[in-house]
Amino acid sequence: MVGDSWTHKIARVCILPLVNTSVTPNHLTGLRFISGLAACVAFAIGTDQWNLWGGIFWLFSAFMDRADGELARASGKMSAWGHKFDYFCDVFVTALFFVGIGIGLRDSALGYWTIIMGISASAGVVVAEILAEIIDQAKKDTGEKAYAGFAGFDFDDVLYLFAPVVWLGWHYPFLIGASVGAPAFALLTWYKSKNLKQD
């Protein structure tokens, strides 16, 4: 499915020098995974300096998530395995973000409950991502997605906001909201997938 969001368009231009090289989409997916993992580890440390670096790694990782797909399409190197690798990395890194900030906030007023909240949010993300992928694959022929974007932004472009949320110190209330909101969102996605099967 060809993305047409602003971030897809920017990535489409940036990967052009790589099209006829030995760099593959899976290389970029690997960079996405490693940088995303590094970001989550930095967030888990939780100091201001590490949160700064975590946000930088996070933004790079999010952009690589766009770049790998664009390189795959531009170079004709699309594969079923590559899609699964990309999907696994997306789910894992996004879910791990909440565990990371939960650990990083362990010295806050809620103490180690923030880790439990991070796990709750992470579980909601995993379930929602799996169900959304099922819906997207079922609607592949029509080009519809489980959650459509707007104004030139895809639904998952919200990931780019995670870095400034941490930098501004808003990740504490964000985590509290996500610990309830992510499981609720997973429930909503399950409901959409259930209706899909009935159709």
In a domain, 61, yes or no: yes
- Can you tell me the mean pLDDT for 153-173? 92
Sign of the CA dihedral running 164, 166, 168, 171: positive
Closest by CA position to 8, among listed 57, 69, 56: 69
Residue 1: what pLDDT?
A: 47
The boundaries of the domain holding residue 100 are 6-198
pLDDT for 98 beyond 90 = yes
pLDDT for 146 beyond 70 = no
In a domain, 88, yes or no: yes
Q: What CATH code is carried by the domain that includes residue 98?
A: 1.20.120.1760
How far apart are alpha carbons 167 and 57 in whole angstroms? 13
pLDDT for 42 beyond 60 = yes
Q: Provide the mean pLDDT of the chain.
A: 90
Band of pLDDT at residue 142, cut at 50, 70 and 90: low
Residue 198: what pLDDT?
A: 54
**Overall number of domains in the chain:** 1
In a domain, 10, yes or no: yes
- Can you tell me the mean pLDDT for 132-153? 73
Sign of the CA dihedral running 161, 164, 179, 32: positive
- Can you tell me the mean pLDDT for 76-100? 94
Compute the residue count for the chain.
199
Residue 9: what pLDDT?
A: 87
- Can you tell me the mean pLDDT for 94-118? 97
Residue 197: what pLDDT?
A: 56
In a domain, 56, yes or no: yes
Most confident of the ranges 6-15, 85-94, 134-143, 151-160 = 85-94
In a domain, 1, yes or no: no
41's tokens = 């580890």
pLDDT for 20 beyond 80 = yes
> pLDDT tens digits, residue range 61-74?
999 999 999 999 99
Residue 178 phi/psi, 5-degree rounding, is -70, -30
